[in-house]
């Protein structure tokens, strides 16, 4: 009966290892969070005006005048943070259980591409409220491009103007609403397709053949066993998500974004969104603008080369590996926390040391 249900809902049964634990539900939770973002974002586009003179007012109109507009907008804001929390936990699981190893390298590559696209999507959406913090945060980040060769020309193409303006807002809106969501959907389906092609990994790194059509020992059909775990995890996630939306609505909103953007008045404190704060810390750790950009690029590119770096030393999942991964996660959390603080001379040395530790722990966790 279970085999019939599995084949009815999913065609050929998709087998998964029977020893999957709670770390393996974050993929389904990510898909759920993305669906919430797509639906709430689509609804917001019906009322949002992507122009420098109307953007801020249209956001306030959504919150104050549109029926249940405050709820949909709050869902989108909280959903962005929830999405990145799940994304970082999903990537942590990949490092912890070495999910990037053969034959799952392409699953990992498409996952890293999704990570880059989501970072870009989060950054582009930051400007849309057209508040003081979002405006100046976008101005700081787009100015980083000038450190590269022909950077002034690249920055001009990115902004569409010599500074962040209404043209930049229109470009970011088009990329945030149309281009990147289409790219995300395309890469997501390839990520899932590769997973179904080679099968899911497992915490013990057992060489189980879980490809479609196989019926190995120590495995079980995805439906109903793993599917029910995912459903329970989604229910718990939605309960926590609703609690954040209704009981701590102001926690995820930047106070300076309640003030309209003013290109003539720089705020005393410019800080990024929390899920971009670790990258901002790495950027500030290096005094040179070009050096900071190169360190920032390394922090993103290093994920792509993990499957090749892991082949240098063939190890399992030992105690030292788990310890190093958790220490690396702790260094990332500290970088995120420090990235939310204002720039201070005493903080630069601390950021530099912590950044070096961040990269050392990352590569040690792969090699050990």
- Residue 319's pLDDT is 86
Domains in the chain: boundaries: 14-266, 271-368
* Digit-coded pLDDT (tens) for 286-302: 888 899 999 999 999 99
Mean pLDDT value across residues 5-27: 72
- Residue 11's pLDDT is 53
Question: Domain 14-266 sits in which CATH superfamily?
Answer: Cytochrome Bc1 Complex; Chain C (1.20.810.10)
DSSP secondary structure letter of residue 144: G
Average pLDDT value over all residues in the chain: 88
Cβ atoms within 10 Å of 184's Cβ, excluding its own = 19
For residue 349, pLDDT over 90 is answered with no
Tell me the C-alpha distance between 211 and 216, whole Å.
9
Give the whole-number percent of the chain exceeding pLDDT 70: 93
- Residue 135's pLDDT is 93
What fold is seen in the domain 271-368?
A: Helix Hairpins (1.10.287)
For residue 141, pLDDT over 50 is answered with yes
* Digit-coded pLDDT (tens) for 304-332: 999 988 877 767 778 898 999 999 999 99
Comparison of pLDDT for 299 and 6, the residue scoring more: 299
For residue 238, pLDDT over 90 is answered with yes
- Residue 103's pLDDT is 84
Tell me the C-alpha distance between 351 and 343, whole Å.
10
- Residue 17's pLDDT is 84
DSSP 152-170: HHHHHHHHSSSSS-HHHHH
* Digit-coded pLDDT (tens) for 152-185: 999 999 999 989 999 999 999 999 999 999 999 9
- Residue 202's pLDDT is 81
- Residue 4's pLDDT is 42
Residue 80 banded pLDDT, cuts 50, 70, 90? very high
Comparing C-alpha atoms, which of 365, 362, 342, 325 is closest to residue 280?
342
Comparison of pLDDT for 141 and 346, the residue scoring more: 141
- Residue 10's pLDDT is 47
* Digit-coded pLDDT (tens) for 30-76: 999 999 999 999 999 999 999 999 999 999 999 999 999 999 999 99
The gap from C-alpha 7 to its chain's centroid, in whole angstroms, comes to 33
Output phi, psi for 260, to 5 deg. -60, 150
Residue 217 banded pLDDT, cuts 50, 70, 90? low
Tell me the C-alpha distance between 245 and 252, whole Å.
9
Structure tokens at 359: 């990269």
Domain 14-266 matches domain 271-368 at the CATH topology level: no
Tell me the C-alpha distance between 242 and 233, whole Å.
14
Dihedral sign for Cα 330, 334, 335, 340, please: positive
* Burial class for 324, CB neighbours closer than 10 Å (0-12, 13-18, 19+): buried
Alpha-carbon separation of residue 206 from 17, 27, 28, 201, 325 (angstroms): 9, 20, 22, 8, 20
């Amino acid at each position: 009966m279970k085999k019939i249900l599995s084949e009815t809902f999913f065609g050929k049964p998709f087998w998964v290892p029977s020893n999957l634990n709670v770390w393996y539900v974050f993929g389904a939770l990510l898909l759920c969070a993305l669906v919430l973002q797509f639906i709430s974002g689509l609804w917001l586009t019906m009322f949002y005006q992507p122009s420098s003179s109307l953007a801020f007012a249209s956001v306030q109109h959504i919150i104050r005048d549109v029926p249940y507009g405050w709820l949909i907008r709050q869902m989108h804001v909280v959903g962005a943070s929830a999405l990145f929390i799940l994304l970082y936990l999903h990537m942590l699981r990949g490092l912890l259980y070495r999910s990037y190893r053969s034959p799952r390298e392409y699953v990992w590559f498409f996952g890293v591409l999704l990570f880059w696209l989501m970072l870009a999507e989060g950054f582009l959406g930051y400007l849309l409220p057209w508040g003081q913090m979002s405006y100046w945060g976008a101005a700081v980040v787009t100015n980083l491009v000038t450190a590269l060769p022909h950077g002034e020309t690249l920055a001009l193409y990115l902004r569409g103007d010599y500074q962040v303006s209404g043209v930049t807002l229109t470009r970011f809106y088009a990329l945030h609403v149309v281009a990147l969501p289409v790219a995300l959907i395309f890469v997501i389906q390839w990520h899932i397709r590769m997973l179904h092609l080679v099968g899911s990994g497992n915490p013990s790194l057992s060489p189980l053949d879980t490809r479609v059509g196989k019926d190995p020992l120590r495995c079980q059909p995805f439906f109903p066993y793993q599917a029910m775990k995912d459903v329970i995890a989604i229910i718990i996630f939605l309960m926590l998500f609703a609690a954040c939306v209704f009981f701590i609505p102001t926690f995820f909103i930047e106070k300076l974004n309640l003030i309209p953007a003013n290109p003539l008045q720089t705020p005393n404190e410019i800080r990024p969104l929390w899920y971009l704060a670790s990258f901002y810390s790495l950027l500030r750790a290096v005094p040179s603008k070009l050096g900071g950009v190169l360190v920032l690029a390394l922090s993103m590119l290093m994920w792509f080369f993990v499957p090749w770096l892991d082949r240098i030393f063939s190890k399992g999942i030992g105690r030292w590996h788990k310890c190093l991964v958790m220490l690396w996660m702790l260094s990332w959390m500290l970088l995120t926390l420090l990235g939310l603080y204002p720039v201070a001379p005493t903080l630069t040395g601390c950021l530099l040391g912590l950044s070096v530790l961040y990269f050392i722990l990352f590569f040690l966790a792969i090699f050990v």
